[in-house]
Amino acid sequence: MVVRSRATDLQLHLQAPTPSPRSRTSDSRPLPQPGILHEYAERLVAFEYSASSSSQSSGPGSPVGVKPHTLLFIGGLNDGLGTVSYVADIVAALEDTEWSLFSPILSSSYAGWGMGGLQQDVHEIAACVEYIREYKRQRRSASASDPGWCGADSGPETKIVIMGHSTGCQDVLQYISAPNPQHGYSSSDTTAPARDRGVSVSVGVTRPQVDGAIIQAPVSDREAIQWVLREGNKRHTAEELQKVYSKAIEQAQKHTFEEYRSLDTVVPLPATASLGFPSSTPICSHRFLSLASPASPQDPGEDDLFSSDLTDDRLKDTFGAIHGRGVLRTKLLVLYSGQDETVPPWVGKVCLLRRWQRATDAERSYWHDQSGVIPGATHTMAGPSQVEARRILARKVMRFLQNITGDSSPQSK
């Protein structure tokens, strides 16, 4: 994989100094967030957050102007920059550490997920990981060669941890558990829309290693859909929704692609909107079938990684495959929201986590001891009622990152 040499390094001090990313104006609007905008691939950018105008300078022993370690945050469906509120809490917690938080824009960000897929996401995340590692290596080398630099060397080795929220959890698990390189990803799959937007797509890309991985709010889209089909919604009865669903599945399976499999078909918007998807987001047949996964649990789709009824053999192919891929260097932190409103009531969260842990640790211990259910946490932990849940999340993430760097000192936040 080639790291783009002309990647943008644009300092965006939107308001300096900013007291805290959680600070707000008198009318409760978030204050502008300073940071650096990076172009990590053609037409793809990542924002490196700064908690304050001076926080790009790391602690003693590190080159001035760049923090050596990176937490790479991947959001879920419909997410983009600043759409997950607890990111601000994590940025604030990282302020006095050697870690910075990057948030990449993928082809699937915002409404792009409907025409995308996990393999495309993973390839773009791999490009971002490689870019960050090379960027920080170059910055450290430049600092060390500066006549004013007094450090003994170029600073600590760069660590990169990837963290996924919601569907970002599918991306993270796919990143650390799928075959590496992952073949069979070409324009006959779901890449045509990305290619048309100028996004470079590769086949058989080898993913660089990461030092740790975090999964937060992993949920099953299939089970969420099945819950709606059982209960109905404000506009449709359960019987009406089941008919809409069956027809959409049948049409998507019959006409998944057009033009010799080079173009995805789109599921009618009235159908996807009735099932709870955003009415303004077109969803291609391939992605719809992946999310709905109608042949599960016997033959689950690509997105069906976290359903409670998946077999042990399926878990061996996902969580259990982490060891054999060699992509994850150390530990996996899994955090489940205790009051996740997108999880059906029949799902036993603690039991499900135990199954995932058994599969993950079958050959080597990867499961981090901070993993577990966060009591009272909703899916996104947004709003004043979730202050304690966000505090617990930030504390667990900080302890995990301290373990990655071997820092045994008490956390400051």
- Give the per-residue pLDDT at 139: 82
CA atoms within 13 A on the CB side of 358: 11
Summary mean pLDDT of the chain: 83
- Helix or strand (DSSP H, E) at 334: strand 328-337
Residue with tokens 């932990």: 381
CA–CA distance, 223 with 296 (Å, rounded to integer): 10
Per-residue pLDDT of 173-183, as tens digits, reads 999 999 988 76
DSSP 8-state secondary structure symbol assigned to residue 333: E
CA–CA distance, 407 with 106 (Å, rounded to integer): 32
* Residue 145 CB burial class (10 angstroms; 0-12, 13-18, ≥19): exposed
- Give the per-residue pLDDT at 33: 80
Per-residue pLDDT of 322-375, as tens digits, reads 999 999 999 999 999 999 999 999 999 999 999 999 999 999 999 999 999 999
Per-residue pLDDT of 135-160, as tens digits, reads 998 887 776 555 544 444 455 689 99
Per-residue pLDDT of 294-333, as tens digits, reads 999 999 999 999 999 999 999 999 999 999 999 999 999 9
Domains of the chain: 9-220+310-405 (3.40.50.1820), 223-292 (no CATH)
Any residues with CB less than 8 A from the CB of 268 and at least 6 apart, and which? Answer: 248, 251
Q: What is the DSSP string of 280-316?
A: T---BHHHHHHHH-TTTTTS--TT--S-TT--HHHHH
